[in-house]
Structure 1
Amino acid sequence: MQYIKVIFSFINIKEYQQDLFINELADIGFNTFEDTHKGFAAFIDEDSYSHMHLNDVLVQFEDEFEYSYTVTEIEAENWNEEWEKNFEPLIVDDSCYVRATFHEPQPQYQYEIVIDPKMAFGTGHHQTTTMMMQYILDTDVKGQSILDMGCGTGILAILASKKGARELTAIDNDEVCYLSAIENTELNNIDNIIAICGGKEVIPAHNYDIILANINRNILLDQIPVYAEVLKTGGLIFFSGFYEAPDLQMIKDACEAFQINYCDHKKIGDWVAAQFKKA
């Protein structure tokens, strides 16, 4: 399989504008993003790429900032070289060390996660993933049943498993993410994560103690009624992938309709992660 690499360069772009731009690109199939000196590179598999869809996104931002871009094709076998050049180990809250297979282990950290992205979103470096990991580190998940929606590489489910979660279901509607989650589960010697490819329609008829959902506002709003069905009374939901205003209030309103109450939230840059509890 070949991939399309689009390198964007910007003039006078603000952080929140770049985040919004990346979010729109993700909605049309781009699933990996790497910072560059003047902007970022975005990757998508060739079969999913549409110049028309890309142009539709660019039109939305043409009056907000100046940009230029180049489009190139890369072979699948070159993908490892691409991300190895840019993937740096990550330390979250001085207790979780996220590394790739080519980094040396660091046994001084309580939790170590090995991630091979393979074009899937979720190495822990994005603010939303980092905040979700912080919530998991701060939460007693031992013996809990957990649903991870929009699992990407499976990093959140893997961390929860390492913290003692009893059983985990990891779901993503992107086949690359689904396969990546399976591979990363094996890399971390974990046997209690079941990966499923699909959306809300494939969520098992099961009662979960905790739901992790790091996606985006619109998908979260669409899926909250299903989360409410499968979340146990007293269960927790951790959301991320949206902004403080107006997104957080929209999430709160949608949850209140199902007696899922807001507890608190974190913020890094313009991104928010929030904790809710089912009454």
Structure 2
Amino acid sequence: MEYKKVTFSFTDVEEYQKDILIAELGDIGFDTFEDTETGFDAFIIANQFNEEELKSILASYGDELVHEYVVSSIAPENWNEEWEKNFTPLIINDDCYVRATFHEHQPQYKYEIVIDPKMAFGTGHHQTTTMMMLYILEADVQDKVILDMGAGTGILGILASKRGAKDIVAIDNDEVCYSSAIENANLNEIDNLTSLCGSKDVIPQQEFDIILANINRNILLDQIESYAAVLRQGGSIYFSGFYETPDLGMIKDHCAKFGLNYIDHKKIGDWVAAKFVKS
């Protein structure tokens, strides 16, 4: 599968402006982002790239965001070279060590996760993934049945499995993510993760103890009703992929319609992750 890379360079950009732009790019199909010294690189499947949509988003900033961008094509065989240049090992909460296959094994950590992104989102480096992993490290997942929506590389389900989850269903609407989750589960010797390709339409009609959904605000608002339908009474749901203002309030209000009660939230930079429980 061919990808497009858009390299953004900025002058005097604020971090929150970059985060907002990344979220808007996610809404039009960009699924992976890597920081650079002058901005960031954004990646999108080639046949989903619409430069007019991109220009429209950038134009909405007017003179507030001084920028340049360059579009280039990346053949599948060059993808590893792209992310290997930027993928550094990640330590979360002194318990979890996330590395690539070319990094050294570190046995001193309780949980070690090996990730080969293969053009899929989710190496733990983005704030939203980090916060979701922190929630998993805090939660009681022992013997729980878990649904992971927007699974990307499968990293969240893999961590849950390593912490004792009984079964994980990982769903993503991107075929690359679907296969990436399978490959990463195998890399980590996880045999209780089932990867499905699709959206809310492929959610199995069964009860889940925990639901993880790290996507974006608009998709979450569309899918919350579907999540609530398969979450058991007393079950927990963790959301991320949005901002504190105004997104968190919108998520809270929508969740309340389906008996999902807000418990708390985490925040890193402008990004938020939140926990809800079904009453």
Q: TM-score if structure 2 supplies the norm length?
A: 0.97
Q: Which amino acid aligns with 1:120?
A: A
Query: What is the CA–CA distance in structure 1 between the aligned matches of 2:257 and 2:80, rounded to whole Å?
Result: 45
Aligned partner of 1:124 in structure 2 is 124
The one-letter amino acid of 2:44's match is: I
Structure-1 residue corresponding to 2:259: 259
CA distance in 2 between counterparts of 1:42 and 1:272 reads: 21
Structure-to-structure mapping, 1:195-206, within 5 angstroms: 195-206=195-206
Deviations 1:202-252 (Å, cap 9, x if unpaired)?
111010000001111111111111111100000000111111111111111
Deviation sequence 1:141-172 (CA, Å, 0-9, x none): 01000000011111000000110100111011
Question: Partners of 2:160 and 2:241 in 1: how far apart?
Answer: 19
Per-residue Cα deviation, 1:4-51 (whole angstroms, up to 9, x for no partner): 111100112211211111111122222211111100011122222222
| Identical-pair percentage | 67
Give distance in 1, aligned partners of 2:241 and 2:45. 22
Structure 1 match to 2:38: 38
Give 2:245's aligned amino acid: A
Write the distance in 2 (CA, Å) between the matches of 1:260 and 1:26.
26
| Secondary structure at the counterpart of residue 86 of structure 1 | coil
Mapped to 2, the partners of 1:102 and 1:62 lie a distance apart of: 43
Structure-1 separation of matches of 2:233 and 2:37: 48
Q: 1:12-51 alignment to 2 at 5 Å? A: 12-51=12-51
Aligned length: 279
TM-score normalised according to structure 1 size:
0.97
Counterpart in the other structure of 1:237: 237
Q: CA RMSD in A?
A: 1.1
The answer to whether 1:186 aligns with 2:186 is yes
Cα-to-partner distance string for 1:77-109 (whole Å, 9 max, x where unaligned): 111111111100000000000000000010000
CA distance in 1, matches of 2:84, 2:139: 32
Which one is further off, 168-177 or 143-152?
Answer: 168-177
Structure 2 gaps, min length 5: none
Letter in 2 for 1:198: G
Q: CA deviation at 1:64?
A: 2.4
Give the C-alpha shift of residue 195 in structure 1: 0.7
Distance in 2, matches of 1:59 and 1:179, equals 36
Q: CA deviation at 1:60?
A: 2.3
